[in-house]
Amino acid sequence: MTTPRTANLTTLTITQPDDWHIHLRDGLALERTVPDIAKTFNRVICMPNLVPPVKTVEEAESYRARIMAHVPKAHGAEVAFDPRMVLYLTDHTDPAEILKLKNSSHVQAVKLYPAGATTNSHSGVSDLSKVYDVIAQMEEHGVPFLLHGEVTHNHVDIFDREKRFLDEVLEPLLKRFPRLRLVLEHITTGDAAAFVQAQGANVGATITPQHLLFNRNHMLVGGIRPHFYCLPILKRQSHQTALIEVATSGNPKFFLGTDSAPHAQDKKENACGCAGCYTAPFAIELYAEAFEQAGKLDKLEGFASFFGADFYGLPRNTRTITLVKNEQIVPESFAYFGDQKLVPLRAGETLTWSIQQDATHGFSS
């Protein structure tokens, strides 16, 4: 019998991870979201789907300042936390904004929300041909284009929307702009994994912990579980298996993006519940569980801490974190937005890994 090399690990020290896709929201929400992610992660790609959205470099810089005001202090010093900002592409984005982005030190990428695809996407792009001149600038200047990859036509089944996006939008887009640097965000299907694998090094993908750990049965069998509902929606088990395969393969095209997306409890547990799973406080522990189940814990560091930084052309982190095989129980809820409650993914359940808390808040240098 072959035993995976990492089968009996009880501690695992890895380079500090980065989160290449997160929703921190704004205002009072930042009191919750920023400390929750900054305790473990360094660089985080802050999604711009606020109301109103973050559309210009100037707006991105002021959003970043609001985020930075909530970075916790460890022993009087601020923890290493570097939010990387993203512009929300609309039908009216000025191509000149791309050069401004290129010259800014904090704005990293541009995000496509097809209009109507997901939370706060109504100002998104109605037809990609309207923004070809902006995309041409991005290709020219090597600015990454981050995609929520789903078509939005009413007649397209929700479980087919990612696959249809690959065929109808992404393939033609890459034909027109072959050098475009592009991240297919939060992929959920074997089709998307195969598509990304077949492209050049300019195309990568992020994968969430929920799409590695769960499939649509977890959300729908034995009762409907709103806290598993996110977009793109969880798919069937064969897709989950394909995602685990690529995430744990050591292929640098696939890297960590939690898509942690808080919505207050009453907005999730609702007759028309919002899409998004909250995982920020224990995201690396969730990934560790998925990688361990696959017998591939040795591949976690590349996925979580190296490949995203390499893709974005940023230096790899130098500090480390240590995961220990100590169980932790996920709280039933967290305080959120003043007096509201936020129910995380796996509320009340036991996780197998924890972050070692030492004098430097889990970090070593």
Per CB under 6 A, residues contacting ligand NCD are 23, 49, 118-119, 148, 230-231, 259, 261, 275-276
Please, what is the minimum distance in Å from the beta carbon of residue 346 to ligand NCD? 16
Please, what is the minimum distance in Å from the beta carbon of residue 195 to ligand NCD? 19
Per the annotation, does 263 bind a ligand?
yes
Query: Using CA atoms, how far apart are residues 352 and 216, in angstroms rounded to an integer?
Result: 22
Our finding on whether 118 is near Zn ion (CB under 5 A) is yes
Out of 36, 259, 285, 292, the residue judged to bind Zn ion by CB under 5 A: 259
Query: Using CA atoms, how far apart are residues 313 and 84, in angstroms rounded to an integer?
Result: 12
The alpha helices in 108-208, defined as continuous H runs, are 132-141, 161-165, 171-176, 190-197
Nearer to ligand NCD, 117 or 135 (CB): 117
Nearer to ligand NCD, 123 or 317 (CB): 123
3-state secondary structure of 172: helix
259 is catalytic: yes
Nearer to Zn ion, 50 or 297 (CB): 50
Residues touching Zn ion: how many (CB under 5 A)?
Answer: 3
Which of the ranges 140-148, 306-314, 330-338, 339-347 carries the binding residues for Zn ion, by CB under 5 A? 140-148
Per the annotation, does 155 bind a ligand?
no
* CB distance 202 to 228 below 8 Å: no
Please, what is the minimum distance in Å from the beta carbon of residue 296 to Zn ion? 25
Please, what is the minimum distance in Å from the beta carbon of residue 117 to ligand NCD? 7
Q: Which residues contact 60 (CB under 8 A, 6 or more apart)?
A: 48, 54, 85, 86, 87, 104, 106, 107
* CB distance 20 to 257 below 8 Å: yes
Position 311: which residue type?
F
Our finding on whether 25 is near Zn ion (CB under 5 A) is no
Please, what is the minimum distance in Å from the beta carbon of residue 49 to ligand NCD? 5
**Residue 39 binds which entry of Zn ion, ligand NCD, none, CB below 5-8 Å type-dependent:** none
Our finding on whether 148 is near Zn ion (CB under 5 A) is yes
Our finding on whether 19 is near Zn ion (CB under 5 A) is no
Nearer to ligand NCD, 80 or 275 (CB): 275
Per the annotation, does 23 bind a ligand?
yes
Per the annotation, does 259 bind a ligand?
yes
Q: Which residues contact 321 (CB under 8 A, 6 or more apart)?
A: 13, 14, 16, 17, 40, 284, 355, 356, 362, 363, 364
Dihedral sign for Cα 243, 247, 248, 250, please: positive
Per the annotation, does 120 bind a ligand?
no
Strand boundaries in the chain, DSSP class E: 11-15, 19-22, 43-46, 73-74, 77-78, 82-88, 107-112, 145-147, 182-184, 203-207, 254-256, 320-324, 328-329, 334-336, 340-342, 350-351, 354-355, 363-364
Per the annotation, does 148 bind a ligand?
yes
Per the annotation, does 288 bind a ligand?
no
| Catalytic choice (259, 298, 310, 358) | 259
Query: Using CA atoms, how far apart are residues 284 and 318, in angstroms rounded to an integer?
Result: 17
Residues assigned a catalytic role = 259
Binding-site residue numbers are 21, 23-25, 49, 111, 148, 186, 231, 259, 263, 275
Annotated binding site for Zn(2+): 21, 23, 111, 148, 186, 259
**Which residues of the chain form contacts with Zn ion (CB under 5 A)?**
118, 148, 259
